[in-house]
Amino acid sequence: MAASTPEDPYEVLQVQQTASPDEIKSAYRKLALINHPDKNQGASAEEAAEKFQKIATAYGILSDPDKRRRYDQGGFANLNPSDLEVQLDLSSLGVVNTAMAAIFNKLGVPVKTVVAQHVLDAAYMGNFKALQLQFGEKHSDKVDKAGVVFYELTVTEQHIAEGFAVGAHSIQGSRFKLLLFEQAVDTQWELLTQEDSQKTKKGMQMAGLYFFPFLTCRMGPKPSALETGSDPEVMLFKRLDSMQPREHVQLRPGRILVAVYGDNWFNRVRYTIQAVHTMSMDRSLAPIADTVQQVEAKLLQKKIELRQFESEYRQVQSQFETVVKRFNKEQKEVEDLLQIRDQAYLDLLAGNDGQAVVPKQQIPPQKGWLKGS
């Protein structure tokens, strides 16, 4: 859940804009400990909970290199609404909290997670071993919850010019993240961007890093039942809201570092990873890449059109609801008047002796009597 009034994350965490990842992490832990809901009860609980949410939101921005870079460049206007949602670190959750998060996620509540700090530290310090990834070769492995497996891929100018992708999938439907690091110095790597795996119609989870000479988009999950509620039309109107253009990553020939991060709630993740060159030797994938480009361009246009259509639909829907209310009101008034009319005729025919020609209880409800009169 996003904080209602976002504040400068640097001010919230009380750090300078030049703060290192370790300084940000230390400030977050200190403030989170003071304002954690479990440590604040009674009158101060509500205020502490609000502060804790702001602290968690600020840390979610500054601990993610991609979000931090975008915030530094353009403030909150350069972030997506989903970037302001509180995110969890699986490596710091106990069994009970992990189980609760898993239950909420299964019920349709989007629960986001961050890459554990120990993974970022290992990459930054160069304290890791990377497996070699070759174009066209599949590599299957497994990774623990909040664990990571690094891969090194060598790319040429031809790969960059023609386009390539690094994709991973889990047939078992296990959640994971696909990470891309950029080299700061010889042995230091910093997280550049990440892709959360998404569930496909076949039940598997998959994610990809795409380096094409054209724009590609991220697509999040469809709106949950909790979001649609009693308004099923939301499923259409909000379906493309999560579709956002990916930032273009400028690569140089040489080594790139990617990684598979275990994002499952409990179990280790079994996955397969592969690097694909769009103009591979065995067959050309260029037509498929063209299809991606054309379809996503149409979907982005549809996203704009749906916003306009929703406005028109809601206006007509409001008019329809007003007309239906008027119809029900008019129908009731007519039936009530007819019932009064019928009773009046019965009372007239009863005469002075007070005896009705037809007993009142035999008159069918809401039907006129002596309709020809």
Whole-angstrom distance, CA of residue 171 vs CA of residue 173: 5
Whole-angstrom distance, CA of residue 255 vs CA of residue 155: 6
Q: Are strands 244-245 and 217-218 parallel, antiparallel or unpaired?
A: antiparallel
> Exposed/middle/buried for 87, CB within 10 Å: 0-12, 13-18, 19+?
buried
Q: 342 and 363 in contact (C-beta within 8 Å)?
A: yes
At residue 372, the pLDDT reads: 46
What six digits make up the tokens of 44?
Answer: 């101060």
At residue 369, the pLDDT reads: 44
Q: 186 and 215 in contact (C-beta within 8 Å)?
A: no
**pTM of the full predicted structure?**
0.64
> Exposed/middle/buried for 363, CB within 10 Å: 0-12, 13-18, 19+?
middle
Phi/psi at 343 (5° precision): -65, -35
Nearest of 86, 75, 66 to residue 8 by alpha carbon: 75
Written as one string, the DSSP assignment of 274-324 is EEEETT-SSS--HHHHHHHHHHHHHHHHHHHHHHHHHHHHHHHHHHHHHHH
Whole-angstrom distance, CA of residue 207 vs CA of residue 293: 17
Q: Where are the beta strands (DSSP E) in 87-204?
A: 87-88, 112-113, 130-133, 138-143, 148-155, 164-170, 176-183, 189-196, 198-199
Whole-angstrom distance, CA of residue 168 vs CA of residue 178: 7
Look at residue 365 and give its three-state secondary structure: coil
Distance between terminal CA atoms of the chain?
Answer: 67
At residue 41, the pLDDT reads: 65
Domains, the chain, ordered by start: 9-85 (1.10.287.110), 117-284 (2.60.120.380), 316-362 (no CATH)
At residue 171, the pLDDT reads: 93
CA 7, 8, 11, 12 torsion: positive or negative? positive
At residue 95, the pLDDT reads: 57
Look at residue 120 and give its three-state secondary structure: helix
CB atoms within 10 A of CB 299: 15
Question: What dihedral do alpha carbons 24, 143, 262, 68 form, nearest 10°?
Answer: 40
Q: 87 and 113 in contact (C-beta within 8 Å)?
A: yes
Nearest of 138, 207, 204 to residue 171 by alpha carbon: 204
Q: Which residues pair with 138 in a beta bridge?
A: 274
What six digits make up the tokens of 41?
Answer: 């009860």
> Exposed/middle/buried for 106, CB within 10 Å: 0-12, 13-18, 19+?
exposed
At residue 101, the pLDDT reads: 56
Q: 257 and 152 in contact (C-beta within 8 Å)?
A: yes
What six digits make up the tokens of 26?
Answer: 């230390």
Tens digit of pLDDT per residue, the chain (373 long)? 444 557 899 999 999 999 988 788 888 878 877 776 556 666 666 677 678 778 878 888 888 777 888 889 888 888 876 666 656 666 655 555 556 555 555 555 556 777 888 888 899 888 999 999 999 899 999 999 889 999 999 999 999 998 899 999 999 999 999 999 988 777 789 888 889 998 888 889 999 999 998 889 988 777 766 666 667 788 888 889 888 888 888 899 999 999 999 988 778 999 999 999 987 645 677 788 889 999 999 999 999 999 999 999 999 999 999 999 999 999 999 999 999 999 999 988 886 555 555 545 444 455 444 444 4
At residue 2, the pLDDT reads: 41
Nearest of 21, 170, 199, 175 to residue 90 by alpha carbon: 175
At residue 327, the pLDDT reads: 95
Amino acid residing at 57 = T
Q: Which residues contact 52 (CB under 8 A, 6 or more apart)?
A: 32, 35, 36, 37
